[in-house]
């Protein structure tokens, strides 16, 4: 466990303070750097900690992604693998980690140049895949996911040194205000909420289903939401949401008949690779925190789909 020179200590049984972020949110030259984002979009990401793109993928791409999602969802091999998180009662697959290792389609999606060019513009550096997952939140009984900063977990349990990662979530179903969409606290990425308690041994086995450590206090959440309130960036299937690793987010439960599915890719700066965990006595498995970084080379995902279709016919 590494604690020396820790800018963002958490779960230390000390006071649970709100620290001001020291790490810049974007590269110095993001606004003028070559890339798909306008200066206004770069500025909004810096200020809010997220950017939402409505219908980023067209119906052709969506159809391929939906079919591949369904193939993975019902795959018995995937369901029984260590990559799958299953529902306690039904045994149904709820999440699949490291989805690029079991799916050529999602492996290509994660390297799509349309996404990577945005990430590179914001990050100002090459990136690798820290984590990926396919989330399959069911209808009727979809459980809530309480407020958390991903970085707090990745730092404390995985040893990610700094706030230099960007997550991209691709909506694989229509997301409505009523089916448990992601909620974010705009601007919360500029603060680090120190959390209570010490991480128990192998906490991650439980925390993928229900997070008990690394959760902010009521007082911290009230303070954060008092600044800017809560935003619910949602839209139709094929929309994408880019979020800073330290953005406070969560989701309410989902009693509607509409499931909510998405794929998430976490892009980490190649100069921000994992060290010893800052607040845990174990290392989480490779599919949660990748310790063999490979710089991602952009590909043309749409182009790959037409090849995909040709080979299928």
Minimum CB separation of residue 210 from its own copies in Å reads: 13
Among residues 55, 86, 101, 256, the one that binds its own copies under rule CB under 8 A: 256
Q: How far apart are alpha carbons 118 and 50 in whole angstroms?
A: 12
Q: At 26, phi and psi to the nearest 5?
A: -130, 170
Name which of 40 and 226 has its Cβ closer to its own copies: 226
With beta carbons less than 8 A apart as the criterion, state whether 256 and 174 touch. no
Size of the site for its own copies (CB under 8 A): 25
Facing residues of 112 across strands? 299
Q: What distance separates the 2 farthest-apart alpha carbons in the chain?
A: 62
CB under 8 A: which stretch of 86-94, 125-133, 137-145, 304-312 binds its own copies?
137-145
The sign one gets for the Cα dihedral 252, 254, 255, 256 is positive
Binds its own copies by CB under 8 A, chosen from 44, 126, 196, 230: 230
Among 10, 22, 14, smallest CA distance to 193 is for 10
Judged by CB under 8 A, the stretch of 120-128, 218-226, 281-289, 292-300 that binds its own copies is 218-226
CB of 229 to its own copies, least distance (A): 9
Question: Residue 183 Cβ, how far from its own copies at the closest point, in Å?
Answer: 5
Q: Toward its own copies, which CB reaches closer, 1 or 255?
A: 255
Kindly tell me which residue out of 12, 55, 86, 252 binds its own copies, with binding defined by CB under 8 A.
252
Site string for its own copies, 173-192 (x = CB under 8 A): ---xxx-x--x---------
Question: Does 287 contact its own copies by CB under 8 A?
Answer: no
- DSSP class of residue 189? G
User: Is residue 105 within 8 Å of residue 57, measured between CB atoms?
Assistant: no
Q: Give 142's DSSP letter.
A: B
* Inter-CA distances, 178 with 142, 143, 172, 232, 241, Å: 12, 13, 16, 11, 18
Pick 30 or 254: Cβ nearer its own copies: 254
Asked if residue 23 lies in contact with residue 124, where contact means CB atoms within 8 angstroms, the answer is: no
Nearer to its own copies by Cβ, of 60 and 141: the residue is 141
* Minimum distance, C-beta of residue 93 to its own copies, in the bound complex (Å): 18
Nearest to 37 by CA among 20, 18, 50: 50
Kindly state whether residue 227 participates in binding its own copies, applying the rule CB under 8 A: no
Which one of 1, 19, 74, 255 is in contact with its own copies (CB under 8 A)? 255
CB-nearer residue toward its own copies: 81 or 252: 252
Chain-centroid distance, C-alpha 272:
16
Phi, psi of 40 (to 5 degrees): -65, -40
> Footprint of its own copies on this chain (CB under 8 A)?
139-140, 144, 146-147, 176-178, 180, 183, 218, 221-222, 225, 230, 232, 250-258
């Amino acid at each position: 466990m590494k604690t020396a020179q820790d800018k963002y200590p958490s779960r230390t049984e000390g006071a649970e303070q709100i620290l001001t972020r020291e790490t810049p949110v974007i590269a110095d030259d993001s606004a003028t750097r070559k890339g798909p984002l306008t200066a206004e979009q770069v500025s909004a990401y810096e200020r809010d900690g997220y950017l939402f793109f409505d219908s980023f993928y067209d119906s052709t791409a969506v159809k391929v992604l939906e079919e591949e999602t369904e193939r993975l969802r019902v795959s018995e091999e995937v369901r029984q693998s260590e990559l799958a998180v299953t529902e306690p009662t039904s045994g149904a697959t709820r999440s699949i980690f490291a989805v690029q290792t079991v799916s050529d389609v999602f492996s290509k999606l994660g390297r799509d140049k349309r996404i990577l060019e945005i990430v590179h513009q914001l990050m100002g550096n090459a990136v690798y895949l820290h984590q990926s997952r396919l989330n399959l939140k069911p209808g009727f009984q979809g459980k809530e996911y309480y407020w958390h900063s991903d970085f707090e977990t990745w730092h404390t349990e995985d040893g990610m040194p700094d706030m230099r990662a960007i997550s991209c979530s691709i909506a694989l179903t229509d997301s409505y205000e009523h089916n448990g969409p992601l909620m974010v606290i705009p601007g919360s990425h500029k603060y680090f909420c120190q959390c209570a308690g010490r991480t128990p041994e192998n906490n991650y086995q439980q925390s993928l289903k229900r997070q008990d450590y690394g959760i902010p206090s009521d007082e911290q959440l009230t303070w954060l939401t008092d600044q800017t309130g809560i935003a619910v960036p949602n839209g139709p299937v094929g929309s994408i949401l880019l979020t800073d690793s330290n953005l406070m987010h969560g989701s309410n439960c989902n009693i509607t008949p509409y499931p909510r599915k998405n794929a998430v890719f976490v892009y980490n700066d190649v100069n921000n690779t994992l060290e010893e965990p800052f607040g845990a006595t174990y290392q989480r498995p490779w599919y949660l925190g990748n310790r063999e970084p490979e710089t991602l080379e952009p590909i043309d995902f749409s182009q790959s789909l037409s090849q995909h279709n040709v080979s299928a016919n």
